[in-house]
Amino acid sequence: MTNPYTGRPPLDSAWQLGYDYGSQHAHHSTPEPPDFSGWDHYGADARAQLPGTWREGCEAGRTAVLGHAPAAGDATDDGEVLPGGVAIPATGDEPVDAEHVRVAVRQVKFWLNAFIHPSHVDGPPGAGVALGYEYFSGDGRDYSAEIHASSRLHSEVEIVDIATGEPKVSFQWHNCGESHALDAQLNVVATERAVPRAEFGEPHYANGVVSVHYVGAAAMPLLPSPDVDVNGTFSVNVETGEVSFHGNVDVYPWYEVYAAVNNGAAVTLVQAAPTGSPEGLLGGASRPVAGTADALGQ
């Protein structure tokens, strides 16, 4: 089923989280959504809609797996069934080392980059005359899982203590590489570093999945310009090591998202080329991107 909230953050991320959970746990009776209080980058009205949107996605995911709308008889694995067939719902905050959960993930790292593939790009019309800026430097690279590859915006987060049922962020780091203005002979004539405005929220654990929400933005520091925007949710299934990202990016530049579990090898979640130009950056991130990978190779 297609996400009905595509392009409408944060509802699109909440629905997708619910769908992923529902499709992985189709026989849970009345699953509870995670705590969305950490998504405080969004207004109170938007946050109030998130639990209901998550439930919509969860029911869609269960339906996709079961082949029909979930019914009472489909609940077989998440609680004692009371007389009369009424199931006790899962609480959504069980410790991850509960008997029915095999904890395979102790630690996870997620990172993303917005970067410019060419070594340099044209400056905006008129900049060469007014400021001597004919070109701007790029990153001169292709997609790379090297965590500190050159980028315009980089964000990374490490989540630990997963096996305790109380995951926490051990660190998060955000950085923008230096931007260089170049003259017609490709000489550097000005250099500035943008200040990233980015943050990961608090990690949440529910039903064997740890998730963390992210919002990030940065602008070209050498000229007035709109932001490069990214937002979305990173998740890891603590039993299987499946990692995922569901979110939105801008139409420009290039984007990449990776994950590594238990200090293992990086796996790719998203690699997205531009669908527009820098002039299309006005407004927030509006291009949906998503990806899932097995970080444990099981």
CA dihedral 111, 115, 117, 118 (to 10 degrees): -150
- Please check whether residue 294 is in contact with residue 236, taking contact to mean a CB–CB distance below 8 angstroms: no
In this prediction, residue 44 carries a pLDDT of 78
CA dihedral 169, 48, 216, 225 (to 10 degrees): -160
In this prediction, residue 202 carries a pLDDT of 94
52 burial type by CB count under 10 A (0-12 exposed, 13-18 middle, 19+ buried): middle
Cα distance between residue 22 and residue 10, in whole Å: 19
Instruction: For residue 276, give both structure tokens.
Output: 């527009």
Cα distance between residue 272 and residue 291, in whole Å: 11
In this prediction, residue 114 carries a pLDDT of 98
Cα distance between residue 178 and residue 102, in whole Å: 44
pTM of the entire structure? 0.74
Cα distance between residue 51 and residue 88, in whole Å: 19
Instruction: For residue 274, give both structure tokens.
Output: 């531009």
Other C-beta atoms within 10 Å of 64: how many? 13
Cα 99 to Cα 27, 74, 108, 239, 252: the distances in Å are: 17, 21, 22, 12, 46
Domain edges within the chain: 11-87, 108-294
- Please check whether residue 39 is in contact with residue 213, taking contact to mean a CB–CB distance below 8 angstroms: yes
The tens place of each residue's pLDDT in the chain, 298 residues long, gives: 788 888 777 888 888 888 888 877 777 766 778 777 667 667 777 788 888 888 888 888 888 888 887 776 666 654 333 232 222 233 344 444 443 457 899 999 999 999 999 999 998 887 777 888 999 999 999 999 999 999 999 999 999 999 888 999 999 999 999 999 999 999 999 999 999 999 999 999 988 999 999 999 999 999 988 999 999 999 999 999 999 999 999 999 999 999 999 999 999 999 999 999 998 898 889 899 999 999 998 6
Phi-psi region of 4 (alpha: psi -120 to 50; beta: other; left: phi over 0): alpha
In this prediction, residue 156 carries a pLDDT of 98
In this prediction, residue 67 carries a pLDDT of 80
